[in-house]
Structure 1
């Protein structure tokens, strides 16, 4: 059964969201039209504003509505340490943990030649220029522990070989509170490779 063209367009537009199929899109559309018109109008305004006003920070490539994002503009952040992540959601996870207080660089992806994503597409030249120009002393490669994430980390490390920069990688392994019987082989192998002496 077809609805009006406006309803059909709303349903199809909602399907662009990850994990939203036809039925879920219909439920969302019907909810907005039946009981959430105020919320729908607010959503439309927020979407329009974000789509036209959000850009990439000129320094770290994170989402921002100004040339330099709030994190890069914060003078309280520790200089000399730069953490490289694949996405804004990775940056947010690190920020929410509340431990790291240095600077960031958001790749907005990872190297994937099969998908046509090379160094230019994720801003590696801009990253290298920033490392060399800002006197970065430690570069933390916090890319995801996937094949592509590992390849991206190794590529960046290779490009900085011979520079006076300490290159570190986030530790991977068994989560606190986890049991060995439930940990996958990939995680276990990372944990074994990253083992260190027991602290006194």
Structure 2
């Protein structure tokens, strides 16, 4: 993490949620914003039959709440944190769809929400499209994510996503009922 900061990184994003020994201290020492992403298991086994004992959005919210508390207790200031529900990480297509449907519940953590759904396999599975034909699905997911509280999007096709988000904001912002 220190090497990333020294190389000019603008944010840290640890898929293991700073759970390794010394990770929180290392992140805190950089002064950079830190994204806490939900993932069960390890990258090598996370998709081996992911299972949740309660609704996925509740499990994700509780996990992130606990990680935020652990980071704060170790000296990482809350204002440097953002959260990522981890679409595609230890989740089935059904988990991902439900998580997006109820993602607004994560806003109770009062932290910026980052999502990355561009070109994800969930789009391919729902629409039966190869990766190079997933733009339309990704645009729909990005607009829905913004409506449900996302404030940062990780995307591949920046221009079309900017247009989709700007249209979503035009609909969502107050005062658009000037007929």
TM-score, L = length of structure 1: 0.36
RCO comparison, higher one (Cα < 8 Å, 6+): 2
TM-score, L = length of structure 2: 0.39
Larger radius of gyration: 1
